[in-house]
Amino acid sequence: MTAEQIDYARYIDHTLLAMDASESQIAKLCEEAQLHNFYAVCVNSGYVPLAAHLLQESEVKVCSVIGFPLGASLTVVKAFEAKAAIAAGAQEIDMVINVGWLKSGLLDEVRADIAAVREVCAAIPLKVILETCLLSDAQITQVCEMCRELDVAFVKTSTGFSTGGAREEHVKLMRATVGSEMGVKASGAVRDRATAGKMIAAGATRIGTSSGVAIVSGDNAAAGNY
């Protein structure tokens, strides 16, 4: 598939996760997502009811982040937040792993954390955010293997709130580890069509970005900051 043949809109989770995001900004996000036929909007769980209401007559899905952006909540809290977000209308869930546990070698705890949210999600697609900028290749591989074994829907590179965003080499590693059946979401610092195309070529099947309009229009001046 060439860059010209890619339907970028269908890859995009149109994202607004800023702590000061207003209702009017969420409404604009949803309006843009419908106008451009993006795959989903991605919002904090407190805005799921609003997004679900605004998109109820639309094919655009509502995605909520869980344990965001640090991933350091108690597992029971993450599971509860995921359950509440789904009850409020979330159709996809993006959870952050506990990076500190992973870096401490607490692999059983990391697995149990993911598994608890996976159980709550049931048929709702779960994307697991690794925060790849903080991890070694070996740690990225470990988490991707866990996610494959736990039958999650996607592994995801980044929150966009740490020291770096998606990188081609990490997307390639994630794709190589999970195989062809799982999704890979590139997020953070994907702000233009060229970068989105590189991530897709590397193996991404979803793009998390606040620059969806810029990507589909090819207008870098319209890019957001996520």
Strand (E) or helix (H) holding 194: helix 193-202
Paired with 154 in beta bridges are: 127, 183
Q: What angle do CA 60, 131, 65 make, to 5 degrees?
A: 35
> For this structure, is 94 an active site residue?
yes
- Cα separation, 3 vs 170, in Å, equals 20
- Cα separation, 73 vs 96, in Å, equals 9
> For this structure, is 108 an active site residue?
no
Which one of the listed residues 61, 78, 127, 156 is annotated catalytic? 156
Strand (E) or helix (H) holding 119: helix 107-121
Which one of the listed residues 61, 78, 94, 127 is annotated catalytic? 94
195: tokens are: 């970068």
Q: What angle do CA 134, 136, 142 make, to 5 degrees?
A: 105
| Active-site amino acid positions | 94, 156, 185
